[in-house]
Amino acid sequence: MTDPTVAPVLLIALPIVAAAVVLLAGLRWPRSGWPISLVALVLEGGLAAWLASAVFGDSGRLVHELGAYGRPGENEFAVGIELVADALSATMVGLIALIALSVLAVTRRAGPRGVPFYAAYLMLIGGLMGVSLTGDVFNLFVFLEITGIATYTLVASNRSAPAAVAALKYLIVGTTGASLYLLGVGYLLMATGTLNMADLAATLAGEPSFVDGPMYTDPLVLASFAFIATGLFVKAAIFPLHTWQPGAYDEAPDGVTVAISALVSTIGAYAFLRISLSVFTPAFFEATPIVATVIVTVASVSVVAGSALAVMQSRIKRTFAYSSVSQFGLVVLATGIALHPDAGASAAEAALIGAVIHLVGHAVVKGGLFTAAMGLALDSDARTIDDLAGLGRQSPVLSAAMALLGLTLVGVPPAVGFLGKWYIVIGAMNADLWPVAVVILLSTVLTLAYVARLFEQLYFTPAPSGDEAGAEAPADTSDDHAMAADGGNSADDGTEEHLSDPTPGAPFGVVAVAVGAAILAILLGFAGAEFADALEPFVTEVLGQ
Amino acid sequence: MSTVESLRPLLAVAISTVAIPLIVASYRRPNVRDSISVLTALGKFAIVASMLPAVLNGDEFRWSLGTYAPGVEFALRADPLGMLFALLSSLLWVFTAFYAIGYMRGLDEHSQTRFFAAFAGSLAAAVGIAFAENLLTIFVFYELLSVATYPLVAHDETDEARAAGRKYLLYTFFGGGVLVLGGTALVYVLAGTTTFGATAQGLSTADPTLAKAAFAMLAAGFGIKAGLMPAHSWLPDAMVAPTPVSGLLHAVAVVKAGAFGVARVILDVYGPDVVSDLGVGLPLAAVAAFTLLAASVIALRQDHLKRRLAYSTISQLSYIVLGLSLLGPTAITGGLLHIPAHAFMKLTLFFCAGIIHVETHTDYIPEMDGIGKRMPLTMTAFAIAAAGMAGIPLVAGFVSKWFLLVGAVQVNEAIFAVALLVSGVLNIAYFWPIVYGAFFESPDGADEKPLISGPLGGREGPRNIQLLKPAGSHGSHGESSGMGGALAGSSDGRDDPAPLEDGEYAVDRHPSDHAGDSATENDPAVAAESDDSVDVGDDSAGHDEETIADDHDDHADHAHHGGPGPDGWERRRWTGEESTWLLLGPILAVATGALVLGIVPYEAQFLELVEVIVEGVSA
Amino acid sequence: MTPLVDVLTSRYAYVLFALLLGIGLYMIVSSQNLVKKVIGLNLFQTALFLFFIASAYLAGGQAPIVHHGGKEATYVSPLPQVIVLTAIVVGIAVTAVALALLVRIYAEYGTLEEDVLREVRSDD
């Protein structure tokens, strides 16, 4: 078996190269975008599995030095960029690979198509992999921007003007955020002289000889954390820096929304987790207690405000977008608890595991919800919540998937939404952070407020024109449509526009992914022990000194 | 005292979970679907009952899925307290299944597949609650119960049903998802485990403030489902659901799950000793006592039968909580025994309310004068159950009440005994008029019911007590409250009714369009029927002469169609020709159960089970 | 007063950086014209570049290219320069995308003023 340390490089390089291949091949064969992407992402999945088996198996933490520059001396800083794969990175990589393939299945028939779309999509995946695997803070910025540019393009990819406006807003806000992050990196560079995450952690802790003592209380370091955190909060869409998200999610083509909702903000939250834990380390937060308090407060506000705003929405996609604000608030809240100086070892561990579980679980659930929403929009042109009336009968499978995923989001056990919350609440209580525990518990009811309307409309509101399709609808409308769609292969002319007929019905790919997401969400709910075990090395490395 | 690893607790839960897809799949064949419901109910009862002898001997059955979260397993354990609730729910589900089939077919309701599937799910969750081994597992099933019962509450798909469903979700998710989860997490943090029976040690040594807070959260969270005031108002609103659902909610599963949760918290999570050390038993008892009395008083003024029964449930559930929180062995016995006792009685009462609705579309008590003529067996069962509620000997309620009274005196809290006695009197006050009116009055000669019609606080000066005809005789009132009954529940002053001759009613003189009269007092379950013909299928004995009009299609509310009609009630004989046996059979069976429980409580296994529980707790 | 003058004379680069940052941010937030917002974004990013370069300034330093012979000298750290180069490229890419979006918006709505755009869009 070849050395698994090459896996991180391939994981990042493959999609980027594939994007170029798609563009080139598209000149000659315009409809080759999907097959090439499929091959690339399947290989990507294989690489992710290989990496996971190495990281969770024998190798533990993998480090690959790009260009093999190495370190000039024993205690010198790394010269080049390092790619690091530990338990957390491997989890994220697996998640990205899985969702990438799912989105490909979703967009096969219904989503945007065409060579530019696939090229941008592959770039997005490449950028996401890069963020997960990099061990260098500036490299993180670069990949964050790659992800960002790809996302701006994808949001605008249906070429409609509202989408362009939303994409522009996202661009401006997102780039400002990324630039703030860059400023923070600059301050760190000024303070320490290195950009490598491991070296930064050591330097900030005061280990190298040219530093006398830990630098945690240095105003430069504090300022850098503030800028970095702000920039990453923009990317993760934490209130009040979330303003780009609802427009971007709503106006983007449905297939794109599935991808970005599941992955892009997730990677922003992951980056925050990574930098706080691996670069600044809990020691920083102990030295500056105010920081953890601020994080926890801002996150709590985000949890409440996101739900409150979600309740007020009438369009389905905007509701889910604001819901993301709330859920990522929960993840950042958990991170804050894990970093809080009052948190003992068990509290921090519980909160951290909860943060990761919720990060992964939310990605699955939110992606599934948007997929189901896409399916319902294709079936019945349902865009607002009121449009959902009676769809429980017309589109039973999709409605069931949406209802199940909605329940998971609320936190009904035994699914993954509850599991994450349980860990986070235990962490909060163990750390004696009672107001935080109250916020987490209340988030259940707050989420229920907007999810309950979905159920009501789907199942307990009769369809408006009164034409119920009989007392019980036929078992699977979507299968019929899928067959029609497959039979209509010849009509596919490879343009990147939507299918031309108004409500062609949800293709099989969409339904399958929605159902699969629901099932996965429930199964993950039982995987608590597995998560805890898998993350154990990361947790001890980061928390248990 | 051995613990046997067995699949039986899992099977008891799983059998109706598996039934859900089967029911959904057989949506095109109602007979297959309904027999699946019945067979599942019988199967579940059989599995639960098979564990009873061993549990009475002191053994326990356990099944575990493994670690769910660190320190917490997802496990089911059949211990005596769990058997009590599981036995009760599964037994009553058998009867409810038959009854529900009869009811839904009788009204030709829509969405029956969803209904029966949700029913099966609710029972699975209820048995899961019963057999949960630790707080986390009980929380899981508690939430699933809320999810499974929501489609039942919102079944009618009208605005009112949706509003009731929303309220139900809000209350139960707040109670469950916020309070019970918080309490569970806190207990885990304090005691390191959530397994029932294993937490008392850690809780007794933990910080008392936190332990009290956890108790308050758990008690409040379970208490919301048990209808403790002030979180009780979801229950009367949920009466908009079809009657089998009300029966399920009140007697079989939901409120009992709340009371059961309180029992688990007091007996197994904290234990009576720790509860008395912390001093949280008395406040809970006070809340329960207040609820007892207040709910009984409110029940007096309800003129809608199901709402009156709802408040009666709120009151009676507090008997259970009161008994448990008094902490003495006798009191606990009373409280626990009241769980099955009340279940049998309340289910009978709800079944009666439902059958009255199916047969005569009567929902309001003032319209029920003389209905004993039309529905003799039903009202007899009603009378038996009502007697039990008041604590009359020979019916189940007496036994549990006896224990409660003795128990209250034993722990030197005689004031609660007084409260119980007052409540008994109030019970008589709100049930007796119904029974009396049914058998001993006729629609023409009914007395006025001042508790309902009179203004709050009484009236000065001499009153005119008039003989009033029930159906719309308040010509001058017109459709003041949309009720067909003469005795509107409003508290503004009464006008003198116009004297009417036989056969001439306000509905004839002032035929109204009922479009604007969708006041809250109308029974929307009636209003929301999608198919309006009263079709009872094959069992049509004695149905040919319906006293009510069959054309409900154009009317937004149906209250005017309730009541006896121009010629009074039709007489039916006592041989069961008043309705179908699908409806009557369960009523009589459950009423008989109430009697059996009252006459031979030990032989009926429940009291023996309770004693085993109390012995185990006091040990 | 003197400390302020001190800062202004000795660390004027940073003062300029802060000023440009503020101007850029202000343009992003308050300009009505979308093109000006993009210009503001660029200004914001340019301020950052200035910061990096200024912070890497070494009096008497040499470009970090070692001629053969390996002369001993004071070399400037190449890291900030690399960062700035990369960031410039990123900034260009972002600006290109932004301008493409602006072209699309103009083609559809005929305006690049934010207030007019809001009006026009609300009629959508």
**What domains are defined for chain C?**
3-57+75-123 (1.10.287.3510)
What is the CB neighbour count within 10 angstroms for residue C76?
Answer: 16
Mean pLDDT of C41-52: 94
Q: Which of A415, A434, A430, A448 is nearest to B175 (CA)?
A: A448
Residue A196 predicted with pLDDT over 50? yes
Residue A458's pLDDT is 85
- Cis peptide, bond prior to residue B230, ω within 30 of zero: yes
**Beta-carbon pairs below 8 A across chains A and B:** 99
Q: How far is CA A176 from the centre of its chain?
A: 20
Query: Inter-chain contact A164–C98, Cβ cutoff 8 Å?
Result: no
| Pairwise CA distance, residues A278 & A308, whole Å | 33
DSSP codes, B536-594: -TT--TT-SS-SS-S--TT-S--GGG-S--TT-PPP--TTSTTS-HHHHHHHHHHHHHH
Residue A225's pLDDT is 95
| Pairwise CA distance, residues B126 & B255, whole Å | 10
Q: Does A530 touch chain B (CB under 8 A)?
A: no
pLDDT level of residue A155 (50, 70, 90 thresholds): very high
Residues 6+ apart with CB under 8 A from A154: A112, A117, A120, A121, A124, A252, A253, A256, A259, A260
Q: Which residues of C touch A227 (CB under 8 A)?
A: none
What's the helix, strand, coil split of chain B in %, to 5?
65, 5, 30
Q: What is the mean pLDDT of chain A?
A: 85
Please give the radius of gyration of chain B, using alpha carbons only, rounded to the nearest integer. Answer: 24
pLDDT, tens digit (0-9, with 9 covering 90-100), for A89-129: 999 999 999 999 999 988 888 778 888 899 999 999 999 99
What is the CB neighbour count within 10 angstroms for residue A494?
Answer: 14
Question: Which residue out of A152, A176, A195 would a mutagenesis test of the C interface target, given it has the greatest number of C Cβ atoms within 10 Å?
Answer: A176
| Pairwise CA distance, residues A141 & B363, whole Å | 69
Residue A486 predicted with pLDDT over 50? no
Question: Which residue out of A460, A467, A519, A531 would a mutagenesis test of the B interface target, given it has the greatest number of B Cβ atoms within 10 Å?
Answer: A460
User: Which one of A3-12, B362-371, B470-479, C100-109 scores highest in mean pLDDT?
Assistant: C100-109
> Of B467 and B260, which is predicted with more confidence?
B260
Mean pLDDT of A134-144: 94
Tallying the residues shown for chain B, one arrives at 619
Residue B558's pLDDT is 43
DSSP 3-state assignment of B65? strand
Q: Which residues of B touch A448 (CB under 8 A)?
A: 169-170, 173, 177
pTM: 0.83
pLDDT level of residue B480 (50, 70, 90 thresholds): very low
Tokens of B601: 């409580």
Q: What percent of chain B has pLDDT over 90?
A: 3
State which amino acid sits at residue B397: G
Residue C20 predicted with pLDDT over 50? yes
| Pairwise CA distance, residues C90 & C85, whole Å | 9
Q: Is the dihedral of CA A307, A309, A313, A319 positive or negative?
A: negative
pLDDT, tens digit (0-9, with 9 covering 90-100), for B65-89: 878 877 788 888 888 888 889 988 8
Tokens of B11: 């099977």
pLDDT level of residue A162 (50, 70, 90 thresholds): confident
Torsion of CA B287, B289, B294, B296, to 10 degrees: 140
Burial of residue C120 (number of CB atoms within 10 Å: 0-12, 13-18, 19+): middle
Residue A298 predicted with pLDDT over 50? yes
Tokens of A61: 């933490």
Helix locations, A156-288, DSSP H = 161-192, 197-205, 219-236, 244-251, 254-274, 281-287
Residue A64's pLDDT is 85
pLDDT level of residue C58 (50, 70, 90 thresholds): confident
Q: Which residues of C touch A176 (CB under 8 A)?
A: 25, 28, 41, 44
Which secondary-structure segment (H or E) carries B140?
helix B135-153
Residue A305 predicted with pLDDT over 90? yes
Tokens of A16: 């980027």
pLDDT, tens digit (0-9, with 9 covering 90-100), for B339-357: 888 888 999 999 888 888 8
Q: Which of B362, B429, B354, B419 is nearest to B389 (CA)?
A: B429
Residue B446's pLDDT is 64
Residues 6+ apart with CB under 8 A from A232: A177, A181, A268, A269, A271, A272, A275
Given a contact cutoff of 8 angstroms between Cβ atoms, the answer to whether A195 and A136 are in contact is yes
DSSP 3-state assignment of C62? strand
Query: Inter-chain contact B161–A460, Cβ cutoff 8 Å?
Result: yes
Q: Does B144 touch chain A (CB under 8 A)?
A: yes
pLDDT level of residue B447 (50, 70, 90 thresholds): low
Q: Rounded to 5 degrees, what are φ and ψ at A476?
A: -145, 90
Residue A154 predicted with pLDDT over 50? yes
Helix axes B254-263, B135-153, angle to 10 degrees: 160
User: CA of A195: which chain C residue's CA is closest?
Assistant: C79
Q: Does B546 touch chain A (CB under 8 A)?
A: no
Residue B387's pLDDT is 87
Residue A460's pLDDT is 82
Q: Do chains C and B touch (3 or more CB pairs under 8 A)?
A: no
Query: Inter-chain contact A172–C83, Cβ cutoff 8 Å?
Result: no
Residue B453 predicted with pLDDT over 70? no
State which amino acid sits at residue B174: F
Residue A75 predicted with pLDDT over 80? no
Smallest Cβ distance to A430: which of B67, B162, B189? B189
DSSP 3-state assignment of B364? strand
Tokens of A485: 């769609």
User: CA of C92: which chain A residue's CA is closest?
Assistant: A149
Cross-strand pairs, A384: A315
> Of A266 and B208, which is predicted with more confidence?
A266
Strand B60-69 to B3-5 pairing: parallel
Torsion of CA A379, A382, A387, A390, to 10 degrees: 20
